[in-house]
Amino acid sequence: MKICSTIGELNEALKDRKDRVVGFVPTMGALHRGHISLVNESISNSDITVVSIFVNPTQFNNPEDLSKYPRDIEGDSRLLEAAGADIVFVPGANEIYPGGIDFSGPIPRSVGSARHVDLNGLDRYGEGPRRPGHFEGVVEVVSRLFDIVKPQIAFFGEKDFQQLAIIKHFTKELGYKIEIKGCPTFREDDGLAMSSRNLLLEPQKRRAAPLIYKSLIEAAQIARSAPHPPITPPELADITTKKIDSSPELKTEYAEIINSLTLQPAESWDEEAITLCVAVYAGKVRLIDNIKLR
């Protein structure tokens, strides 16, 4: 496995890529089995697997969240080598944002390289209004990484449901010839969605956190009731919120039932594809999850 810290080193490592499929797994490090499942998917579908580790400042609207984000490059590298990754790209901020980063405002911004993409309302609900600037940062860093790595396939987890939809959208809008492959959410034995942020949970908060997925499962059972659910999507979202908040260790920021394609609120069960998305605070740690209802 080759570890590259500069674009020049990465290009050298990929110099024999002709007629070979390059699979790409972008990460922010602090890797867990969910990340490794993406690497395994890439290995199964590609000739060369590249994994990037870069904690991107421009998608954090909370400086404290950025500073506390877990980092373990050595541990991550060992996991990736054991998994069979071919190349690990660990760039500094100057490689991704050669113009620098402006930290003077509430949201860090790269200098002179921002890409503006019409997100077509995909950021209007869910994470969008709660994390202003977040998805602009995602578009910016992922598009920059696509330009650098030039993969044929890129792999992303379905836990970040809204992010996955936005990445698929901008990939098409910007004309990238890259297949975006969503991979199922990996979970702990008790149902908690795997996340690098789980490492920051206090013990009592960690014990309470599985209630999130349990509440999603119960909501899915109601939504799939035959012949028709007894309540509306907004009512079910409210029930889910109350269920999660029944634990004194958890506080729901939002529970929204949305059209899986447009990401707009679902007011009835007549829509073809529907997903329930939640964001929940366990103390200071913010956890997200989702479940397909239809």
- Write out pLDDT tens, residues 248-268: 999 999 999 999 999 999 989
Count CB neighbours of 233 within 10 A.
23
SS3 of residue 173 by DSSP: helix
- Measured at the alpha carbon of residue 285, what is the angle toward residues 239 and 277, in degrees to the nearest 5? 35
What the chain holds in terms of domains, given with CATH numbers, is 2-183 (3.40.50.620), 196-289 (3.30.1300.10)
Give CA–CA dist 126/256, Å, rounded. 7
Range of lowest pLDDT (51-55, 59-63, 157-161, 268-272): 59-63
> Over 80: is that where the pLDDT of 114 sits?
no
Beta-bridge partners for 285: 282
Q: What is the DSSP letter of 21?
A: P
> Over 80: is that where the pLDDT of 106 sits?
no
Mean pLDDT of the chain: 94
Measure the N-to-C terminal CA separation of the chain; round to a whole number of Å: 41
SS3 of residue 149 by DSSP: helix
Of the residues 32, 35, 134, 169, only one is catalytic, namely: 35
Give CA–CA dist 17/294, Å, rounded. 41
Q: What is the pLDDT of residue 269?
A: 94
Q: What is the dihedral of CA 80, 84, 86, 89, to 10 degrees?
A: -10
Q: Can you spell out the DSSP letters for 221-260?
A: HHHT-SSS-SS-HHHHHHHHHHHHTTSTT-EEEEEEEEET
Range of lowest pLDDT (55-59, 174-178, 274-278): 55-59
Q: Is 116 a catalytic residue?
A: no
* 91 upstream amide cis, omega within 30 of 0: no
The pTM for the full model equals 0.93
Count CB neighbours of 230 within 10 A.
8
